[in-house]
């Protein structure tokens, strides 16, 4: 009797399952949550960066550089235009040096309609960074994240004032990082993007999808090389721009350390042949005869592996460490010369090169 009842229940459940699978409309009523989680019309889905633009755009300003006319030293005329980014509620603005290089007066126009004459706090020709300051209350400040690290493929938005058309936002991705080939000395690393950067965009903001500052737009490949190209633009990384700004605010200019060596990274092949302690080191190719390194006894073909006990991570890390040191500081540099480890004390000088 029990077996008969169980068999009947099993047959009933099986029959119900077959009916549910055969009639889709029954599944809608039995599993409503599944139906609700699926979009009924793919056309209703939208991808928008409006929130990022809304956060960042108010802090991106239009910059007009004015210059006295040659025939009338009392009359100012607008000679150039660009963009800038308010990065502090105290009114500090980061822009490109070339935007204000020839200006006798700089006018800043905010997106809320306010206009102000800007004070030039300082400039740095080498990195193409200038810092301005304006007076005002409730100034919009662009979101900033010290933890964000730009990666190839990240979506970015370029905000600025191209050709004085008014604030414009263009869209793209980060195409590459660490691009140094267009810099004057081959040392400064840029972010490359395919977001359009045109005349007037210089000094504007490159932001991520959270509206956070990624870099300061500085040039298109066409502007840098006079070649007619599209989709290749460059921005100064936010971390570098912020570091330069802080130096300018502190000292009125950028004070860089200098020891007077040129070198190249130890290749991975060479490091395997020479030993693991050479990983991250650099080979000295030349020594400035008037620089501190020459006086300290450095020679070509020396391999620098540590500075003040800290291991290195290639040529760029050496440049970063040295330029951040205050002139007059003495550091101990560990080198390998003809297979022997030597420590040389070097007194850092000031880098006076443009």
Q: Do the Cβ atoms of 255 and 247 come closer than 8 Å?
A: yes
* Non-local CB neighbours of 41 within 8 Å, separated by 6+ positions: none
Closest CA to 302 of 285, 316, 321: 285
Which member of 128, 265, 302, 351 is catalytic?
Answer: 128
Which member of 202, 265, 302, 351 is catalytic?
Answer: 202
Which member of 98, 124, 302, 351 is catalytic?
Answer: 98
Question: In this structure, what DSSP letter does residue 168 have?
Answer: E
Respond yes or no: is residue 88 known to be catalytic: no
Q: Do the Cβ atoms of 205 and 93 come closer than 8 Å?
A: no
- The distance in angstroms from the start CA to the end CA of the chain is 101
Respond yes or no: is residue 310 known to be catalytic: no
* The length of the chain, given as a count of residues: 354
**Angle CA 49–53–56, to nearest 5:** 140
**Angle CA 292–298–302, to nearest 5:** 140
What is the torsional sign of CA 168, 177, 350, 330?
positive
Q: How many CB atoms lie within 10 A of CB 41?
A: 6
Respond yes or no: is residue 202 known to be catalytic: yes
In order of 20, 77, 202, 243, 328, the CA distances from 256 in angstroms are 76, 36, 25, 12, 11
H/E segment holding residue 101: none
Query: With DSSP H G I counted as helix, E B as strand and the rest as coil, what are the percentages for the chain, rounded to 5?
Result: 25, 35, 35
Tokens describing residue 319? 């440049």
Q: What is the rounded distance in angstroms from the CA atom of residue 206 to the CA atom of residue 160?
A: 9
Question: Which positions are annotated as active-site residues?
Answer: 98, 128, 202
């Amino acid at each position: 009797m029990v077996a008969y009842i169980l068999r009947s229940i099993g047959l009933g459940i099986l029959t119900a399952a077959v009916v549910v699978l055969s009639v889709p409309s029954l599944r809608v009523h039995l599993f409503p949550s599944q139906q609700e989680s699926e979009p009924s019309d793919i056309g209703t889905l939208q991808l928008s960066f409006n929130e990022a633009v809304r956060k960042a755009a108010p802090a991106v300003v239009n910059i007009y550089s004015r210059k006295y006319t040659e025939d009338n030293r009392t009359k100012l005329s607008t000679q150039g235009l660009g963009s800038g980014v308010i990065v502090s509620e105290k009114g500090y603005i980061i822009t490109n040096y070339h935007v204000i290089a020839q200006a006798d007066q700089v006018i800043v126009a905010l997106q809320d309609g306010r206009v102000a004459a800007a004070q030039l706090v300082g400039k740095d020709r080498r990195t193409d960074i200038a810092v301005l300051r304006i007076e005002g209350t409730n100034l919009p400040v662009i979101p900033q994240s010290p933890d964000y690290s730009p990666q190839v493929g990240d979506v970015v938005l370029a905000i600025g004032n191209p050709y004085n058309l008014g604030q414009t936002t263009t869209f793209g991705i980060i195409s590459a990082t660490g691009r140094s080939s267009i810099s004057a000395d081959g040392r400064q690393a840029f972010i490359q993007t395919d977001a359009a950067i045109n005349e007037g965009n210089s000094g504007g903001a490159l932001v991520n999808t959270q509206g956070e500052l990624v870099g300061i737009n500085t040039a298109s490949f066409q502007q840098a090389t006079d070649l007619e190209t599209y989709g290749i633009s460059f921005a100064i990384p936010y971390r570098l721009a912020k570091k330069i700004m802080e130096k300018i605010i502190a000292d009125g200019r950028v004070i860089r350390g200098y020891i007077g060596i040129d070198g190249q990274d130890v290749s991975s092949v060479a490091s395997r042949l020479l030993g693991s302690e050479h990983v991250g080191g650099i080979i000295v190719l030349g020594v400035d005869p008037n620089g501190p390194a020459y006086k300290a006894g450095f020679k070509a073909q020396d391999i620098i592996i540590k500075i003040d006990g800290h291991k290195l991570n290639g040529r760029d890390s050496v440049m970063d460490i040295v330029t951040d040191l205050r002139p007059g500081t003495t550091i101990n540099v560990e080198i390998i010369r003809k297979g022997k480890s030597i420590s040389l004390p070097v007194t850092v000088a000031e880098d006076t090169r443009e």
